[in-house]
Structure 1
Amino acid sequence: MAGEKVNLTGAKETLLLTLYGKALESRLPNSLLRDYFADEAVRNIDYDFSRLKVDNNLGVGLAIRAKTLDVCVQDFLARNPDAIVLHLGCGLDTRIFRIDPPAGVDWFDVDYPEVIDLRRKLYPVRDHYHLIASSVTEPGWLNKVPRDRPAIVVAEGLTPYLGAEEGQQLFSRLVGHLSSGELVFDAYSRLGLKIIRLNSSFRATGAEVHWSIENPHELERAVPKLRFVEDIPAYKPEHAARMRWFAKLFVRLWKYIPALRKIGRLLRYRF
């Protein structure tokens, strides 16, 4: 097998899981995401993706989450064509290439140095695109981000790996630095984290998840500048048609059972 060798473990290795899931979904004839950059990246990485045991349901679920976040970013940029996009824990996600933002937008992808190094090898450079090699929980990297323009902060598959206090401190620094904008990320209830821990693909990485959010208003109390706007369901009924029968049943059930609706969802805040 030729390609870029990858040696990631724990939470960092989960970026390969999400990349592979999006690539597999993009190979489907009825692909929602059409993430051909992800598919190409998978082909250029020297790694045994089969060990992650990513199935159709997981690939479709990851694509739905990514597409929903893409739409949030696109809507914000339509209202703020001179904005900045701050993509926390970007991993190998190709959101900037899927969205292809206008020239007035500055885009910042932030992740560990070894992840950013891999991104440089796999993806092309482009104008107004900035890579920041740092853990998102280190405070110093924010000095590289303009503070006088509207910003949308997006985090996909990041917050569960943080501790609650760690995540709240991160969001406090962000809203203290940025003048105005929106924050959107995926969040999970305690039950949701238990289900994640049982997932065979997740378990293959050895990662651990910590931060659960039961009530979106919890974060308003911890970070007073944040104002909760909406929670977006992880799945909609039309999405279930692309999944296997047991996943279809699960999606139908969670429409009627509040505890299931909170398992995983996207939360959007304004600041």
Structure 2
Amino acid sequence: MSKGSTLKGVEDTLYIPLVGRIYASKKFPEFFYDEKALSLEPHIPTDSIEKNSSEYFYMASVCRQHTIDGKIINFLKENRDGNVVFLGAGLETSYNRIGNEVANFYQVDLPSVIEIRKRVLGSGKNEKLISSDMFKLDWIKEINTDLPTIIAVSGVYQYFAEDKIIEMIKSMKSQIPNGELVFDATNAKGLKLANKYVKKTGNMNAQMYFSVDNPVEFARCTDTRLLEVHGFFQSALKNCHTLKLITKIYMYFADKWNRTLVVHLRFN
């Protein structure tokens, strides 16, 4: 990959999942294929990520998104004209992978990130980019809250304190009554491992704080209904036959020990 970058100014944490999607698309296209991510490959400076990464960490990012994609696709089967909102969107390319041109897609992130996203990814005909701090909830004014809405938060909540997240979810519930929330989390032990990995990539300013050890209790704290909890890796273990043995072992125990979770909540 090129050391020079047309993605100049992108925060380090935005690169990690993008590089993972490129890796999986090249090695396991039958499981996960991201044409948009592949198109960005020549422009990504990935020296530190490639040097300090492993197949497991690439696949953890990919499997997280594969699981969330599935939740969104299932939601849209029942809510053809609904809203899909990505909070902390970064350079996520779910919109392109899902390929739905009927529903309403919203990408929400800080102004500096949205400017980069505009330049790098553009926007589709049914996709709106919103410059906003997701915790301030100003973005809700931009959507039709009468429509069924699924909100996806991928690789973001870990960087914030639990009380701030709980307050946010309660506030979203009060303003989006016909809403659902899908987010990823680790348990406390998994959080320690994730922090260690991000530091290895050279980013010393991306400390993570939030974990979920008991999804049932977390739903109670947020006054929401827990629909489902999934591990990341079951589908990949079944379909990615050429994974390295050590990757398969890590994946198996990550799911078994609830180190990696996708939590699906409903507001009503």
After TM superposition, the score normalised by the length of structure 2 is 0.89
**Is 1:268 matched up with 2:267?**
no
Distance in 1 (alpha carbons) for counterparts of 2:84 and 2:129: 12
Counterpart among 5, 8, 23 of residue 6 in structure 1: 8
Residues paired across the two proteins, number: 260
How far residue 69 of structure 1 moved from its aligned partner, in angstroms, is 0.9
Within 5 Å, give how 1:1-150 maps onto structure 2: 3-8=5-10, 12-28=11-27, 30-45=29-44, 48-53=45-50, 54-103=53-102, 105-150=103-148
- Residue by residue, what CA displacement relative to the aligned partner does 1:137-179 show, whole Å, maximum 9, x if unpaired? 1232222122110001111101111110111122122211113
Kindly report structure 1 stretches of 4+ aligned residues shifted beyond 4 Å.
200-203
Tell me the distance in 2 between the aligned counterparts of 1:6 and 1:70.
Answer: 28
Change (3 A) 1:17 1:251: closer
CA apart distance, 1:29: 5.3
Superimposed CA distance per residue, residues 167-193 of structure 1 (whole angstroms, 9 cap, x where no aligned partner): 112212221111313211111111011
Contact 2:158–2:209 (CA<8 Å) still a contact in 1?
yes
Which secondary structure state, in structure 1, belongs to the residue aligned with residue 123 of structure 2?
Answer: coil
Map 1:170-209; keep pairs closer than 5 Å: 170-199=168-197, 203-206=201-204, 207-209=206-208
Which ranges of structure 2 fall in alignment gaps of 5 or more residues?
A: none
C-alpha displacement at 1:200, in angstroms? 5.4
Give the letter for the 1:107 counterpart.
Answer: F
| 2:234 is the alignment partner of 1:238 | no
Sequence identity (%) = 23
Q: RMSD across aligned C-alpha pairs, in angstroms?
A: 2.0
2:247 maps to 1:251: no
Aligned partners of 2:161 and 2:128: how far apart in 1?
Answer: 27
Aligned letter for 2:229?
D
Secondary structure of residue in 1 paired with 2:36: helix
Kindly tell me: are residues 17 and 202 of structure 1, through their superposed partners in 2, closer, same or farther at Cα, counting changes over 3 Å?
farther
CA contact (8 A) 1:196 1:202 kept: no
Q: Which runs of 5+ in 1 are unaligned?
A: none
Would the alpha carbon gap of residues 126 and 254 (structure 1) be closer, same or farther in structure 2, given more than 3 Å must change?
Answer: closer
* CA distance in 2: counterparts of 1:148 and 1:114, whole angstroms: 30
